[in-house]
Structure 1
């Protein structure tokens, strides 16, 4: 038997390293939903603002037209409805929500929103969400998402509300909180602010939960509202002589030529009306020196600066945060505005020197929840006390800075009573004891043609009544 020959050994080849399992690349065939999901994740992971994140994603990824509109609806809607979505998902999942991976929970919320609050067919909403989950987290997570979302799809939103919300007859606030996706404490705050008009609570919440139109402010002396409407395809607003409304979802207003060129700015009509009320109060004597004590990011300062320029006067604008002061400088370029980086409570400006003073104080922002979809779930009742102290101190400083006979406007974008009537009552009481001597002015005549302003002397605007943010304005004269 012949000797068996051994084959020469093959050169040793090391195996390529095994790839560690991990998230797969996001699908490219669904850019709208991917952008919406990435926005929702940024809000959860980084405490980002959806209205700042999404426009950048749309620009960077060149998402336009219907895809951009869909991404906007899904991203903002999912953030806005989070409380309702979580209640439904909790009922449909065999795991507590706090034990579900955050990335997966983001996708479940996005899918549930499509099922409950859009006209997207159920099979498309489920399948598209499952595809996103599979691409990011693999088949196991995709199977879980499929099972949960199919349970969500078994009922429509009204049925889920009837099943999960407290009985409206015994707990109206709790029922409306779930039905309109607001924290309970905010619903109670709205109810208290409406007072005798509490029957409007459901309408107020519904308007607050709707996607708002974009409001522009034409710069006085640069362009008229009619011209701005023609340039942008918008409509002249009903109350502010400088406001133009653009249809919701019309795209990033920062891309509009009049905004880029400084002829107009993005500013809610209610914010414009509050600033204009300050300028409409009659004065005796000088009217050349105006002050915006809390000026960032600069919308009201730009409007006031344009108006005071027409009078041959000037505006001082105070902002504590340097980056916000930079925004004020950009918004008021080429206007007679001097920006001061300082705390409005101790600005270093001379007391008794200003003819008109605007105190647009930091607040909870409960009046602009429709424009900041995630903010309702971030604010807490405990935030109010610290803000109220700051508001009271800023208003007191503004009153000291006004000259005798001068006018001060206290403005907040909130209807919450501790930030509105509570501050006014406290400042009036303190001024009566220790000065300066002041009187409150009925603000209603300085909101001409605006209906349903109540009994005064303050003005509280509402989205469901006026189509504006829920701005509060109280006017004072230093005696």
Structure 2
């Protein structure tokens, strides 16, 4: 299940700090954010600037298991780093992390030794330096000098000499030259593309299979589609907002500087600024949420129920933590005066759901509607009252391969074994969701991964085991802000969204009806 609680600048490049231009005339450029031009050479020789130091500290925390979207904002707040400097640090950390696979190959070539022979702390320093040289608009001399200063400060004088030699070697070639150099000996085209785009090979192959399996790429354009998909994982994701119906409005978000989404009827995007500064978001009446997540919740709410389920509407979010989809689903339910239950197995995440639904809970009281947050295992709900729920969302825990652009460290932490480990849980949760559904009711199965073993294969296995459910074509319920059905959703009846096609996370959605 993807983390919907996103802050500003998830990999967002600061204004004016795009791809590097002509390195041969660095004196004609302004110094990048985070490089203190007022420092004397002797000062730079001793210490680097606070922005790069914060980036390094975040890299070390990520290496120890922290999440970039949680660790970095806290560091920036603690160090009182904001504005362009905060954007510079964010791009440093996100870029150096997501592209570390490619950068490690470059560093190994420039250093003349495998990266596993380089101290992990020094390697993080070199990754930050490599990203400044190869992925950001930082003059070569500034990138080299500041990285050496950082190494001297955090790795020691001996390491600084090594870093200086490697950085100067990296600065001798353009980014494209380095990419060609480190991939020239890789014969397999998918493996070569995986290295070029800095993805583990197993992920590249799994995404290739998903593109074919979901009908998003034919035999003649699969490599082109795969390239576009992998490149989209390395592009900073926009900051998407949702106005929770009945609690906030798109007009309110527009007044706060957001722009209406053309994709989601309840969505907006924030070109710049801190979403936490928007009153509706602080109050929980609106939230930061990917448009793909918005669309699948709207689809579940829009599809028609039948029989007993239609007569007595009750909604359930079976895996609600940390509360993003639950927030939108609850708002829709309360607006219609429909009882809503959010279930979460983790006590901590259940607390997050409770906090996320604060505004919805207050509105439920005003409308005399039931809203509950339940802490328990979604696989064991016990006896369900009133014959079951009319709509159940099963947003199953998954590998998160569809949200790699938002979570730069995720691609390096997951492995093929994770897919197998989650398979049983996903099937159990979907079965439990069906059990909790009233006759004629709907179950929406969702993952933020397009992996076939987490999507189509899970649903098809359940359909083989049970004769009390049937698939419903979900595609007609995915409509844009103008009410038009979204294109390129796949062959159906499933829906698969893609970052390189729709601009959303790669969300999968299947709609099932209880007979």
TM-score by length of 2: 0.84
Does residue 264 of the first structure (1) align with residue 298 of the second (2)? no
Alignment-derived partner of residue 388 in structure 1:
423
Deviation at 1:259, TM superposition (A): 1.1
Does the CA contact (< 8 Å) of 1:291 and 1:357 recur in 2? yes
2:493 corresponds in structure 1 to 457
| Structure ranking higher on relative contact order (CA contacts 8 Å, 6+ apart) | 2
- Please name the residue that 2:325 is paired with: 300
Alignment partner, residue 193 of structure 2: 176
Q: Secondary structure at 1:306's aligned position in 2?
A: helix
| 1:315 CA displacement | 1.0
Q: How does 1:37-436 map to 2 (within 5 A)?
A: 37-44=56-63, 46-165=64-183, 170-195=187-212, 196-197=217-218, 198=222, 199-231=224-256, 233-247=257-271, 250-284=272-306, 285-333=310-358, 334=361, 335=364, 336-350=370-384, 352-432=387-467
CA distance in 2, matches of 1:349, 1:77: 49
Which deviates more, 102-111 or 278-287? 278-287
Unaligned runs of 5+ in 1: 1-24
Q: Deviations over 1:422-451 (max 9, x none)?
A: 10111111113xxxx111000100002322
Structure 2 vs 1, CA of residues 381 and 41 (structure 1 numbering), >3 Å: closer, same or farther?
same
Query: Structure 1 residues 142, 290: closer, same or farther in 2, change over 3 A?
Result: same
Greater mean alpha carbon deviation, residues 137-146 or residues 26-35 = 26-35
| Contact 1:288 1:312 (8 Å CA) reproduced | no
- Does the Cα contact within 8 Å between 1:26 and 1:34 map onto a contact in 2? no
Q: How far apart in 1 are the matches of 2:371 and 2:98? A: 37
Distance 1:228 1:251 in 2: 13
Instruction: Write out per-residue CA displacement over residues 243-299 of structure 1, whole angstroms, 9 at most, x where no aligned residue.
Output: 11123xx35433432211122111111011111111011123325310000000001
RMSD: 1.8
Deviations 1:168-204 (A, max 9, x none): 8x52211110111111111111111111342311111
**Offset of residue 227 of structure 1:** 2.2
Q: 1:447 aligns with which of 472, 478, 482?
A: 478
Query: Kindly tell me: are residues 349 and 234 of structure 1, through their superposed partners in 2, closer, same or farther at Cα, counting changes over 3 Å?
Result: farther
- In structure 1, C-alpha distance between the alignment counterparts of 2:117 and 2:381, rounded to whole Å: 49
Shift of 1:59: 1.1
Q: Secondary structure, in 3 states, of the residue corresponding to 1:410?
A: strand
Gaps of 5+ in 2: 1-43, 365-369
- Say which SS state the counterpart of residue 416 (structure 2) adopts: coil
CA distance in 2, matches of 1:324, 1:468: 24
2:268 is paired with a residue whose SS is: strand
Q: Which has the larger radius of gyration?
A: 1
In structure 2, relative to structure 1, the CA distance for the partners of 1:209 and 1:465 (3 Å cut) is same
On the 8 A contact 2:400/2:449 being kept in 1, the answer is: yes
Point out 4+ residue stretches in structure 1 off by more than 4 angstroms.
Answer: 25-29
Query: Secondary structure, in 3 states, of the residue corresponding to 1:316?
Result: strand
Contact 2:397-2:422 within 8 A present in 1 as well: yes
8 Å contact kept, 2:199–2:411? yes
TM-superposed deviation, 1:348: 2.2
TM-score (norm 1): 0.90
